[in-house]
Amino acid sequence: MIRGLTIFSFISIILTLSTTSLSQTFDGEWKCDYATYDTDVNDNAIAQSCISIAAFSENTFVALSHRVPSATIGITNFLVGYKDADSAKGRMGTHYGGRGDRQLWSSGFDAVEMYQAFDVAVHEDLIFVANNDPSRNILVFKLGADSVESSDYRLATESDSIWAISTDAAGRVYISAYYPATSSSKILIYESVANEPEWGGTHLAEPISVIDILEKTGDTGLVRGIGPSTDGSVVYVSNFDNRKIYAFTGNPNENNYQLNSGFNFTLTDTLIASSQIDTLIPGPWGLGLMPEKNILFVACDVSFRLGVGYEYGRIYLLNPNTGEMLDTIDVADWNFIMTGAYNTRLSGNSPGNASGYTSTYNVSFDENFNLYSQSYYGWTVEKWSYTGTLPTIPLTIVSVRREDSPVPNEFILSQNYPNPFNPITTIEFSLSEDSEISLSVYTITGELVTDLINSSHFTKGNYKLAFDALKLASGTYIYTLKSGSKVLSNKMTLMK
């Protein structure tokens, strides 16, 4: 227990100071700097529905067009690159523009047509597309001097339908595969183009890790977003059908990912539309963990809904360790304020900083912490900037493991070991009954550092977790386990 500090006085400090944690303070507002024009095919327009966006650097990005087929015209799929973009300029070279147009990936005599692609990702100068041709290829393009070009790389996943795609800092590629027979999804992780020769060889390679969503969570449903940390030690996954986001921790090279029970987010939004008849029930779509800042951004919207569907569309900013909601970008509200309606943008270009037709499905970032989103029915890409200074949140999320040992008969929080430590220490606790618990770390003055477990349900048993304090300063910290009215706390010392 804490020496020299009573539990009562410690709890009082926490209640007084924990809400002022500097690590999670948002002191500004989000504003849309520009939205690309959606008129004049020969000017700056994508010219068809935009379902995903991936940024290389500030104002340099690639947009993925995907438009569902009509009775007579097939699916549209193509990429549009932008350099030094704003609302009126930046589109690169010749691009497709007609409904039914599809871009071709080719290398020598090898060719694959883009088909039913829903997501795009980038790494260095490469563009990765999750394609639904018969072999379910990951097609790799590159950003050329004046247009998007084919590379020599692709990888046939030979899986069922694929949806989301992402990359980490090492260039590893993460995709979600959906299996209709079981209504379940898997995350497949492939080695980078630099380290897997078959990207340019046979185009066949086994994933280095697989996360079976049904096996790990018990949930069926379609995964629509993947957001790995820069090193791949944490992988966030959005399940649109169940309106949940999961966090898995592990090593992409060891195939050992585990569901982290300390992270919890379920979208509970519902909206009675202006029609007073329609109820909008959105789900989480694309997501991404902003590098360095470690803020998890989640695009939430209804699914391909015209008309009243434009009245909802939000991007939530979450604590990456717990799933706590920290800030909101209400895209639909912004569009209404800027245009006076949910379903308009005068002449397709006025104003220059609102898309209208809210349909926010994916997010991306640049090196200056600007946010990029898209409007599927507005046919545009949007750039958002923050007027304040975004906080940096230490990424302390870790695996919580249940020990195979006799069930305890009391509520216990053990002393961490080693102690002092640098920078990783193990924390063990025991529960004598099924409980909803929280495990938090505070400074010695009671300021919240992070929630390792946030109001999560655990069955009775013995548990252990590793706490990584790499980004924290040397000093004494207090870790506290709460279950209902029960509170246990201990000190630990970080010595770097």
pLDDT tens figures, 405-446: 888 899 999 999 999 999 989 999 999 998 888 899 999 999
Write the pLDDT tens digit of every residue in 175-202: 999 999 999 999 999 999 999 999 999 9
Write the pLDDT tens digit of every residue in 203-239: 999 999 999 999 999 999 999 999 999 999 999 999 9
Q: What is the dihedral of CA 329, 175, 185, 224, to 10 degrees?
A: 20
In the Cβ-directed half-sphere of 353, how many Cα atoms lie within 13 Å?
11
CA angle 252, 257, 263 (to 5 degrees): 120
Choose one of 330, 355, 386: the last residue of a domain: 386
User: Is 2 among the domain residues?
Assistant: no
- Total domains present in the chain: 2
Q: Is the CB of residue 246 less than 8 Å from the CB of residue 211?
A: no
Q: Which residues pair with 288 in a beta bridge?
A: 297
Assess whether 94 and 238 both reside in one domain: yes
Residue with tokens 């950003």: 143
Assess whether 443 and 349 both reside in one domain: no
CA distance 79 to 140: 11
pLDDT at 451 (0 to 100): 83
pLDDT at 282 (0 to 100): 98
Write the pLDDT tens digit of every residue in 85-134: 999 999 998 667 777 789 999 999 999 999 999 999 999 999 999 999 99
Assess whether 288 and 427 both reside in one domain: no
CA distance 254 to 238: 23
Mean pLDDT confidence for 469-486: 93
User: Is 1 among the domain residues?
Assistant: no
Which of the pair, 451 or 342, is modelled with greater confidence?
342
Write the pLDDT tens digit of every residue in 140-164: 999 988 899 999 999 999 999 999 9
Choose one of 357, 386, 415: the last residue of a domain: 386
Assess whether 380 and 417 both reside in one domain: no
Assess whether 412 and 293 both reside in one domain: no
CA distance 82 to 104: 19
Assess whether 340 and 365 both reside in one domain: yes
Assess whether 380 and 405 both reside in one domain: no
Residue 462 identity (one-letter amino acid): N
- Kindly indicate the confidence band of residue 24, based on its pLDDT and cuts at 50, 70 and 90: low
Take residue 361 and report the two structure tokens written for it. 């499905």
Q: What CATH number is associated with residue 425?
A: 2.60.40.1930
pLDDT at 40 (0 to 100): 59
Write the pLDDT tens digit of every residue in 120-134: 999 999 999 999 999
User: Is 382 among the domain residues?
Assistant: yes
pLDDT at 35 (0 to 100): 97
Assess whether 11 and 49 both reside in one domain: no
pLDDT at 14 (0 to 100): 34
- CB atoms under 10 Å from CB of 435, counted, come to 17
Assess whether 382 and 467 both reside in one domain: no
User: Is 300 among the domain residues?
Assistant: yes
pLDDT at 2 (0 to 100): 35
Assess whether 273 and 400 both reside in one domain: no
Residue with tokens 């379609």: 222
Task: List b or e across 106-125, with b for residues whose CB sees 16 or more CB atoms inside 10 angstroms.
Answer: eeeeeebebbbbbbbbbbee
Q: What CATH number is associated with residue 103?
A: 2.120.10.30
Assess whether 339 and 198 both reside in one domain: yes
Residue 451: which domain range? Answer: 7-23+394-494
Assess whether 255 and 154 both reside in one domain: yes
Choose one of 386, 405, 425: the last residue of a domain: 386
CA distance 240 to 107: 35
